[in-house]
Structure 1
């Protein structure tokens, strides 16, 4: 189906471009969200008559998204989740979870603005792209941890999982050393002579 775009659509074109898209994409996404019009002769005339107004409205939306993006860009958010010893989450963090934590701390984004290629499934610091407008995107940092203390350690740059394994290794070495120095199985004194 041929459509005329009313705003920039990533991978398709910019405002005013006449592009061919799949029928389902046009009917289910572009047309209901007023991102495009069918490219009929009547609609093209209407678009050309209103082009200046549409461009001004798009520019105003871009500027307001840019102002909102300045507050969000580079911001860090902490999410406390349960995870196994290897840092694998019991579940995952999705776009909805990221939007909820940003909105809880005063931001205003929809879950559809969060761009995740795949859900986040491990502990650590994760950069997440947020698309506030077709032409405005910012990056926020999501710190996923098991506790606030762990989140603070991760924020300082410590690899919590590696340090946990190191602590466990040192504890095991200490226990083995204790056993060698007189722990289990060794007896001192005159027990056998009677």
Structure 2
């Protein structure tokens, strides 16, 4: 099934891309979450407008992403979470909590969907997190998780 992505999807494409996916993936996941729309001939106008807006932002955002990468990699990001004895957390640290901690530390505002946590953060300590800032640019950030009172 051909669909038009309206938001970036990891491993599939960026907003405005026309991609072919299996019918069930489109019908059960992408379309109900409003991440994509079905492709039609009239939908091509929508694709053109999304791509034009993306191209206009691309140059400006590439420069902003380079500056944001420099600020992120030099920042100390600390997340406070409830922990039991032995440093094991009650639950896990989510990308939304990491995004809030980045903003609180004076870093750039980062969308939680752009933060990739390779393994769930369930212990107190330092953890590596990958933040996609632009199509070609990403920052590796160290997040310190501390036990809250």
TM (normalized to structure 1)?
A: 0.56
Moved over 6 A (4+): none
8 Å CA contact retained: 1:7, 1:134? no
Give the superposition deviation at 1:121: 1.0
Give the superposition deviation at 1:125: 0.9
What is the aligned partner in structure 2 of residue 94 from structure 1?
Answer: 94
Q: CA–CA distance in 1 between the matches of 2:50 and 2:89?
A: 50
Give the superposition deviation at 1:8: 6.1
Question: Larger relative CO (CA 8 A, sep 6+): 1 or 2?
Answer: 2
Q: CA–CA distance in 2 between the matches of 1:54 and 1:87?
A: 44
Q: CA–CA distance in 1 between the matches of 2:55 and 2:64?
A: 14
Secondary structure at the aligned position of 2:83 is classed as coil
Question: Residues 107-154 of structure 1, C-alpha deviation per residue, up to 9 Å, x if partnerless?
Answer: 22233332224531112210112223444321211112348xxxxxxx
CA 39–142 in structure 1, closer or farther in 2 if over 3 Å, else same: same
Q: CA–CA distance in 2 between the matches of 1:3 and 1:134?
A: 21
Q: Which structure is higher in helix share?
A: 1
What is the aligned partner in structure 2 of residue 69 from structure 1?
Answer: 69
TM (normalized to structure 2)?
A: 0.69
Unaligned regions of 5+ residues in structure 1, if any? 32-36, 148-194
8 Å CA contact retained: 1:74, 1:139? no
Q: Give the aligned length.
A: 142
Q: Which structure is higher in strand share?
A: 2
